[in-house]
């Protein structure tokens, strides 16, 4: 009888294409899902829909031009990407940038991180079905973008760094507006918690979902908030300080649960820490030149150069192999998004469709960063 029932009402797995055009894909990511009813059996990731061969283009361009290409990778941490390339070139040329440059770079990096996490918070809520979070996040993100616009001339792809320093000096309003923003956001960040964090449905949707162990996080090469939520202390700002991070006091946000809720809390805490860093630096930006003179044509000495920075999504590494000409012989970005995306299958198999969307949101994917 049981066999008969099984034969007559047998279930079949089916395929579903999530993306490349799908509201949850945050860009053009294509997931080929094998689903049994609502349960996910397999996740196959198909990349390449927004591949622009940035690394190959870098071999063609001069070092000043490379900086502008990096904006288009992880566009939510464009300043930090620029900084990574500038740091590696400065290391290669043995240029020491002024303290002023270091501090301003750090402040803007942290503002970028705040803006990125705000956007993530809004989108995370939206992926879980709470549409209002998006507008709350954008209210505050606009203020950061306005600061950027005033100082850098652009709101998203800033191009403020150049090898040797900054494109221009900061705008006279920069310090005041940043301080205003910090006081504003200190009252608004608890509002984020009130709207989403304590909500019963939100806790049910995130706690214990998409659990990533510390071992798995390390072996998949996870970095950033994803790794730190699994207890893997991997913050480049703490481990290998660059720019002005060695002179500020901040805590590395670490949790051990490894689920979506932990990743959420880590990012919320990082926003507090970013504000702490900015507060320590904003009042005493040292006087000095905003750039160090470099040659019009930069030629890196023969050899290999590597620099890692902490973007909003994790560790970005820039590897340059130079033969002593005005272009890099080979350039490689180690982007945080790609290794974090590789986790998706690990944490999503056996979960429901809704969980997969929540997992994708908690990993904080930016597709151009993955595809480059």
Partner 1 sequence: MMKTLSITKTIHDFLFGLMPEGIASFVEWVMIAAAYLAFFALAGLLLVYMERRIAAFFQLRLGPNRVGPAGLFQTIADALKLVTKELTIPDKADKFLFNLAPYFVIVAALVILSVIPFSAEFQAFDINIGVFFVMAVSSIGVIGVLIGGWASNNKYALIGAMRSGLQTISYELSVGLSIMTIVLLAGSLQISEIIEVQRTGGWFILQGHIPAVIAFMIFMIAGTAETNRAPFDLVEAESELGAGFHTEYSGMKFAYFFLAEFINMFIVAAIAVTIFFGGYLSPFGITESLPWMGVFWFMLKTLMIIFLMMWFRWTFPRLRVDQLLTLEWKYLLPMNLFNIVFMAVIIWLGWTF
Segment interacting with partner 1 (CB under 8 A) among 105-113, 239-247, 267-275, 350-358:
350-358
Report the alpha-carbon distance of residue 327 to residue 57 in Å, rounded: 10
Query: Counting contacts by CB under 8 A, is residue 204 touching partner 1?
Result: yes
Query: Counting contacts by CB under 8 A, is residue 184 touching partner 1?
Result: no
Query: Counting contacts by CB under 8 A, is residue 190 touching partner 1?
Result: no
Beta-carbon contacts of 15 under 8 Å, excluding residues fewer than 6 positions away, are 32, 33, 34, 35
Interface residue with partner 1, options 202, 242, 250, 333 (CB under 8 A): 202
Segment interacting with partner 1 (CB under 8 A) among 84-92, 153-161, 229-237, 354-362:
354-362
Interface residue with partner 1, options 28, 47, 75, 139 (CB under 8 A): 139
Segment interacting with partner 1 (CB under 8 A) among 53-61, 238-246, 290-298, 347-355:
347-355
> Peptide bond before 20: cis, by omega within 30 degrees of 0?
yes
CB of 128 to partner 1, least distance (A): 4
Query: Counting contacts by CB under 8 A, is residue 271 touching partner 1?
Result: no
Q: Which residue, 12 or 287, has its beta carbon nearer to partner 1?
A: 12
Interface residue with partner 1, options 63, 120, 121, 136 (CB under 8 A): 136
Segment interacting with partner 1 (CB under 8 A) among 194-202, 231-239, 308-316, 321-329:
194-202
- The alpha-carbon radius of gyration of the chain (Å, integer) is 22
For residue 129, give the nearest of 331, 355, 348 by alpha carbon.
355
Query: Counting contacts by CB under 8 A, is residue 126 touching partner 1?
Result: yes
Residue 8: CB atoms within 10 Å: 7
CB of 228 to partner 1, least distance (A): 24
Q: Which residue, 125 or 224, has its beta carbon nearer to partner 1?
A: 125
For residue 171, give the nearest of 150, 156, 149 by alpha carbon.
150
Query: Counting contacts by CB under 8 A, is residue 210 touching partner 1?
Result: no
8 A C-beta contact, residue 89 and residue 63: yes
8 A C-beta contact, residue 318 and residue 56: no
Interface residue with partner 1, options 92, 125, 314, 368 (CB under 8 A): 125
CB of 353 to partner 1, least distance (A): 5
DSSP code string of 271-323:
HHHHHHHHHHHHTTPPPS-SB----SS--PPSEEEEEEEE-SSSEEEEEEEE-
Angle at 210 between CA 207 and CA 219, to 5 degrees: 130
Query: Counting contacts by CB under 8 A, is residue 62 touching partner 1?
Result: no
Contact letters for partner 1, residues 6-45 (x by CB under 8 A): --------x-x-----xxx-------------x-------
Which helix (H) or strand (E) is 334 found in, with range?
A: strand 330-334
8 A C-beta contact, residue 228 and residue 266: yes
Beta-carbon contacts of 129 under 8 Å, excluding residues fewer than 6 positions away, are none
Residue ranges that bind partner 1, judged by CB under 8 A: 14, 16, 22-24, 38, 125-132, 134-136, 139, 195-196, 199, 201-202, 204-205, 352-355, 357
């Amino acid at each position: 009888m049981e066999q008969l029932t099984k034969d007559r009402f047998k279930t079949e797995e089916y395929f579903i294409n999530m993306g490349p055009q799908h509201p949850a894909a945050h860009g053009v990511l294509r997931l080929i899902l094998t689903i049994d009813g609502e349960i996910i059996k397999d996740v196959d990731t198909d990349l390449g829909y927004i591949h622009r061969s940035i690394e190959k283009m870098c071999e063609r361009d001069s070092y000043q031009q490379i900086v502008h290409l990096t904006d288009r990778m992880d566009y939510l941490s464009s300043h930090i990407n620029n900084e990574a390339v500038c740091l590696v070139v400065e290391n290669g040329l043995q240029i020491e940038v002024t303290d002023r440059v270091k501090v301003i770079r750090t402040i803007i990096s942290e503002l970028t991180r705040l803006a990125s996490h705000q956007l993530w918070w809004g989108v995370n809520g939206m992926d879980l079905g709470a549409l209002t979070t998006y507008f709350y996040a954008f209210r505050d993100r606009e203020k950061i973008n306005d600061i950027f616009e005033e100082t850098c001339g652009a709101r998203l792809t800033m191009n403020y760094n150049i090898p040797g320093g900054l494109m221009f000096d900061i705008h006279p309003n920069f310090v005041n507006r940043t301080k205003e923003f910090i006081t504003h956001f200190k009252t608004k960040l608890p509002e984020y918690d009130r709207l989403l964090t304590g909500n019963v449905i939100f806790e049910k949707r995130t706690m214990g979902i998409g659990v990533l162990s510390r071992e798995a996080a390390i072996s998949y090469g996870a970095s950033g908030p994803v790794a730190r939520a699994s207890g893997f202390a991997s913050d480049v700002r703490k481990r290998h300080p660059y720019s002005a991070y060695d002179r500020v006091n901040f805590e590395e946000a670490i949790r051990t649960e490894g689920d979506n809720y932990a990743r959420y809390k880590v990012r919320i805490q990082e926003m507090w820490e970013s504000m702490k860093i900015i507060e320590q630096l904003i009042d005493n930006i040292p006087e000095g030149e905003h750039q160090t003179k470099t040659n019009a044509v930069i030629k890196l000495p023969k050899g290999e150069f590597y620099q890692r920075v902490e973007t909003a999504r994790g560790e970005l590494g820039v590897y340059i192999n130079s033969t002593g000409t005005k272009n890099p012989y080979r350039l490689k970005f180690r982007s945080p998004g790609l290794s974090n995306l590789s986790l998706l299958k690990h944490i999503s198999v056996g979960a429901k469709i809704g969980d997969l969307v929540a997992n994708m949101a908690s990993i904080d994917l930016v597709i151009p960063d993955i595809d480059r």
